[in-house]
């Protein structure tokens, strides 16, 4: 796929983006969910080797194709690795799946009800390397815990600042200001977040577009103004801790938004499964998330 073909697939493709980007702190939890307990490795390298093999098993599965999975977000170590001798981004592209890379280095401590991203002093070098490997875009995550307008404005401003740096490398940023689904002021967070994103979109130069990865809103349709925005290539949703059935049901209530799920995609996969059992469980998850992304239950606005 050429860049123009990847852009077209992201803009119009039917399906969803798989998030295969669990990083250092979340890796033990991801492995435990996969059926590998913490004592199964002695070093960090061994731990990352186990999670890499889990991702390779997903990527090489016959059910993991560009027909329903239009993109995949990778952890940097995964991007640098190989699947059956092929660089991971190339293996994805061969399957018709657009590769992205997670670029954030984790979160700062909470202030003003939010957690900003930590500094990324080596970002330019990472972007240069990723683009050379055929990676199309990036993803960077912040967290919003309460409806503090000053804090939410700071999160969105930082996200768009990083997004502009990504755009300068000819890559597509997925901007992810996640609203904590356990927040007591979640609906207010959604409203303030929408306002701040619209302000920052208006400030983007003409001809530039970003993607957005957002928590599923309390009120279905809240993010409709973003779905049709000329400076937004696609809006995708994270599962945010919802189990897959609930995440897919919430997703189906929001027109024009597709999934970018991690836990909700992987929750039924186990290390101990035979290849046939693994493929069947992964296929069921893919089918459910695909339906939530493409078959909407919310009324279409007229």
Which residues are known to be catalytic? 176, 213
DSSP-based helix, strand, coil % in the chain, nearest 5:
45, 20, 35
If phi > 0 it is left, if psi is from -120 to 50 it is alpha, else beta; for residue 175 that is beta
Strand pairing partners for 215? 238
Strand pairing partners for 235? 212, 257
Please give the full DSSP string across 15-53, using - where no structure is assigned.
SEEEEE---GGGHHHHHHHTT--GGG-SSHHHHHHHHHH
Strand pairing partners for 258? 236
Phi, psi for 252 (deg, rounded to 5): -65, -20
């Amino acid at each position: 796929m050429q860049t123009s073909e990847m852009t077209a697939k992201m803009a119009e493709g039917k399906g969803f983006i798989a998030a295969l980007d669990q990083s250092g702190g979340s890796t033990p939890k991801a492995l435990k969910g996969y059926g590998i307990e913490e004592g199964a490795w002695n070093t960090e390298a061994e731990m990352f080797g186990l999670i890499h093999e889990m991702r390779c098993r997903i990527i090489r599965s016959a059910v993991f194709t560009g027909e329903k999975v239009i993109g995949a977000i990778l952890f940097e170590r995964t991007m640098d690795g190989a699947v059956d001798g092929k660089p991971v981004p190339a293996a994805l592209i061969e399957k018709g799946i657009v590769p992205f890379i997670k670029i954030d280095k984790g979160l700062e401590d909470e202030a003003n009800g939010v957690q900003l991203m930590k500094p990324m002093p080596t970002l330019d070098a990472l972007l240069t390397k990723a683009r050379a490997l055929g990676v199309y875009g990036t993803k960077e995550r912040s967290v919003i815990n309460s409806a503090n307008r000053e804090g939410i404005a700071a999160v969105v401003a930082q996200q768009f600042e990083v997004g502009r740096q990504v755009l300068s490398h000819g890559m597509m940023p997925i901007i992810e200001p996640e609203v904590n689904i356990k927040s007591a002021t979640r609906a207010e967070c959604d409203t303030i977040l929408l306002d701040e994103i619209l302000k920052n979109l208006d400030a983007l130069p003409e001809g530039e577009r970003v993607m957005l990865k957002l928590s599923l809103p309390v009120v279905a349709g809240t993010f409709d103004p973003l779905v049709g925005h000329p400076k937004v290539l696609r809006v995708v949703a994270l599962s945010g801790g919802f189990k897959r059935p609930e995440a897919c049901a919430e997703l189906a209530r929001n027109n024009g938004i597709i999934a970018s799920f991690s836990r909700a995609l992987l929750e039924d996969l186990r290390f101990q499964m035979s290849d046939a059992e693994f493929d069947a469980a992964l296929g069921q998850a893919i089918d459910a998330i695909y339906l939530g992304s493409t078959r909407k239950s919310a009324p279409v606005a007229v």
